[in-house]
Chain A
Amino acid sequence: MTKALGLLVALFALWLALSGYFKAFLLAVGFLSCLFTVFLARRMKLLDDEAVPLQLRLTLPLYWSWLGGEIFKSAWAVSKIILSRNIALSQQLIAVESPLKTDMGHVIFANSITLTPGTVTVEAAPGKFLVHALTDEAAGAEAFGEMARRVAAVETR
C-alpha cells in the first residue's frame, strides 16, 4: 500500500512536471491517469523495492555528483586514447565482486560501472559482475572498491 501510494505521488509529480497546466480538468485526468498507471503496475506486479525505490537514502544525489566526477575523469582518459595516434588498448574481461545486498544496489553498481567510460558490465551473476575494461588503468581494482562502498552507502536494507 505504501508502495502504491508512493508510486502514485511520484507519478503525479511527474505528471505535473510534464503538464505544466493547472486546469481542473487536466489535474483530474492526471490524477486518474496516475491511478490507472498504479493499477497497471499492480497488475504487472511491479510494486516492489525495485520499481519504487523508496528505500534509497537521500544521499543518492551526492553519489551522483561523485559519479559525475568519475565519469568525467574516465571519459577524459578514454578520449585521450581515441585521440592518440596509435591506439593502444589492453582489453580485458575481469570479474568484479559486488559486496552489495540488494538487487537495486547491484543495478546501481553495475550501471555505474557502465556509465564510467572505459568499463562496461558485461554479465551479471549473483554477487559478481563480469566487466570489460578498455585499459589496465580502467581495470584497476581500487576504483571499483571505492564505487561499491559509495553505492552501499546509498542502499539500505
Chain B
Amino acid sequence: MSDIGIELDYIMGRYNYWLFCILMMTGLYITVSRGNLIKKIVGLNIFQTAVFMLYISMGKVIGGTAPILTEVPETIYSNPLPHVLILTAIVVGIATTAVALALVVRIRESYGTIEEDEILELEHDMDFGSGAAQGDPVA
C-alpha cells in the first residue's frame, strides 16, 4: 500500500515534466519533419513554448501563489526567477520568429516556393544544372 503511495507521489511529482516532454517532442518533430518553411517555424515555436513550460513548472510551489507580494503574511510564493527567465525567452522567441518569417518572405520571393523539397531541387539545379559554378553569383 505504502509502495503504491510512494509510486503515486513519484508520478505526481513528475507527470508535469513528462507532459512537457511529449509536447516538446511534438514541436521538434514538426520542425524536423515538415518541409514547409512556415510550418517549421510554428513547430519551433511549439518546441520553445514547451521548454518555457518546463521552466515555469519547476518554479511552481504547491500552495504558493504568484510572486506579487500581498499584505497577507505567511504567504508562500512561487519562484519568480524562472518567470523572469522565460519572459526573456519568450521575447527572444518572438524575435527569432520575426526574423525567420522575414527570411521566408525573401525565400518565397527568390525561389517562388516555400517548400523545402522544391527549394532543394532548385538548388540542385543551380549546382549541377546550368553549368554555372558554385561560387558564381546567382542573384
Direct A–B contact in the complex, CB atoms closer than 8 angstroms: no
A interface residues (Cβ-Cβ under 8 A, vs B): none
